[in-house]
Structure 1
Amino acid sequence: MSLQDKLDAFKADFKGGKPPYYAPPEIHPIMERATAELIASGQAARTIKAGDRAPAFTLKDQDGKEISSVRLLERGPLVITFYRGVWCPYCNIELQAMNDALAQIEGFGASVVAISPQTAVNSRKSVRDNKLHFPVLSDANGDVGAAFGLRFALPDYLIALYKTLQNDLPAFNADPSWTLPMPARFVIGQDGVVLYSEVNPDYTHRPDPADMLPVLERAAAKV
């Protein structure tokens, strides 16, 4: 089953209130409105794209260790997945799919990191709950996400809904701004240039890890 098939199955269960999932039916139009508005804003078209130079960064992983993109690129290509946080089930399904593909990715000499605005405590929970074997980095205040063009502010009506659902982003992220990154995945070549970019303002849609394997294969062949 592809990653998107798994996401679609989860979405159907979530919207249908199938156990163990339940959400009041009135919340779905609100979340769908926010997604539609983010799509209509055109922000996804203004993000870092293939052929652009990727912003360099140094962030702390779930254990407080500093991870430098420059250092990782000295070893080989770098795969980055930006996600919203451990509270997002769609993100967790994607992280599990990335973990399943890790051996293939590393077989091309590449490294993988995941980046979210959440605190280290929540990053550790991401690693633990999803049994991840790659670092989860904390992007304090979403600055790296902003450098990639991914950070956006939640509209007031969505903030109100999140508060009702006790989805306290300021607590998750230690940041009062109520901002998130659009989910995205990048492959960066050793020269710092982006080889693959996939950004979707609809958080229920994610590219399959297999989609980037030909890019990694070509990058490995050039070494």
Structure 2
Amino acid sequence: MSLQEQLDAYRTQFEAKAPAEALAIVRKATSDLVATGQAERALGVGSKAPRFELSGSSGAVVKSSEQQAAGPVVISFYRGIWCPYCNLDLKALQATLPEITGTGASLVAISPQSVANGRKTVEDLGLSFPVLSDPNNEIADLFGIRHRLPDELAGLYTNFGVNLPVINGESSWTLPMPARFVVDRSGVIRYAEVSGDYTKRPDPSVLLPILRDLASRSE
């Protein structure tokens, strides 16, 4: 089953049980974000990727410059451990990791949640790639994917037990749009996929032809 098929199956199950009023709030927030066109304005292919130095779940600082010096880097932005769609996405990346690293590339995942919650994500999902904490969504903002949740949705999340100020350690109520980038050794973005609809994610397998092409050029 593809990643999107898994996401669609989860969404169908969730929507069958969720209160109609809650679904209306979620759907409106998603459609409004898509309508802004922000995803299309985010950094794309040919743009220079912002550099970062972020703390990982192990406590070590990961520097994008060092990762790029070793080979292409796949950067995957996700919302947090509380998001089941993100967890399915991360597990799909983990399943594809041997093929990604087999091309000479590396993979990092970035979210605004605290380092402690990043550590829990790694432990709960059995991840073996760096999960990085992006305080205040500062790096997400540089990529053009940070957005603020509308008050109605923030209130709904709080009622559902998703208190982002606690999870992320800051009170902006901002999140990154789910996004995937491939950055080459020179820091140029060679692949970009950003979605204003958090239930839509590209399958990790689409990364492999891009990474193999980059590998062949460096030989």
Specify the TM-score bucket, using the shorter chain as the normaliser. Answer: over 0.9
1:57 equivalent in structure 2: 52
2:146 equivalent in structure 1: 151
TM-score normalised by L of structure 2 = 0.98
TM-fit CA distance, 1:25 = 3.1
Q: Aligned runs of 1:107-126 on 2, under 5 Å?
A: 107-126=102-121
User: 2: distance between equivalents of 1:108 and 1:54?
Assistant: 20
1:148-197 deviations in Å (ceiling 9; x for gaps):
00100111111111121121000000010000000000000101000000
TM-fit CA distance, 1:24 = 2.5
Q: Is 1:190 paired with 2:150?
A: no
Q: Aligned runs of 1:6-21 on 2, under 5 Å?
A: 6-17=6-17
- The residue matched to 1:204 in structure 2 has which SS? coil
- The residue matched to 2:19 in structure 1 has which SS? coil
Task: Give the alignment partner of residue 96 of structure 2, picking from 98, 101, 106.
Answer: 101
Task: Give the alignment partner of residue 167 of structure 1, picking from 156, 162, 169.
Answer: 162
1:113-160 deviations in Å (ceiling 9; x for gaps):
000000011101110111001010000111000000010011111111
- The residue matched to 1:26 in structure 2 has which SS? helix
User: 2: distance between equivalents of 1:28 and 1:125?
Assistant: 28
Runs of 5+ unmatched residues, structure 2: none
Runs of 5+ unmatched residues, structure 1: 18-22
- The residue matched to 1:99 in structure 2 has which SS? helix
User: 2: distance between equivalents of 1:128 and 1:27?
Assistant: 30
User: 2: distance between equivalents of 1:86 and 1:209?
Assistant: 19
Q: Aligned runs of 1:63-82 on 2, under 5 Å?
A: 63-82=58-77
User: 2: distance between equivalents of 1:192 and 1:75?
Assistant: 12
Letter in 2 for 1:7: L
Q: Is 1:48 paired with 2:43?
A: yes
TM-fit CA distance, 1:45 = 1.4
2:81 equivalent in structure 1: 86
Letter in 2 for 1:201: G
User: 2: distance between equivalents of 1:159 and 1:84?
Assistant: 14
Task: Give the alignment partner of residue 29 of structure 1, picking from 21, 24, 32.
Answer: 24
Letter in 1 for 2:57: Q
Identity in percent: 49
1:78-122 deviations in Å (ceiling 9; x for gaps):
001000000000000000000000000000000000000000111
- The residue matched to 2:23 in structure 1 has which SS? helix
User: 1: distance between equivalents of 2:21 and 2:36?
Assistant: 24
User: 2: distance between equivalents of 1:161 and 1:142?
Assistant: 21
Task: Give the alignment partner of residue 131 of structure 1, picking from 107, 126, 129.
Answer: 126
- The residue matched to 1:52 in structure 2 has which SS? coil
1:5 equivalent in structure 2: 5
TM-fit CA distance, 1:26 = 2.2
Instruction: Give structure 1 regions of 4+ aligned residues with deviation exceeding 6 angstroms.
Output: none
TM-fit CA distance, 1:212 = 1.3
2:214 equivalent in structure 1: 219
Matched length = 218
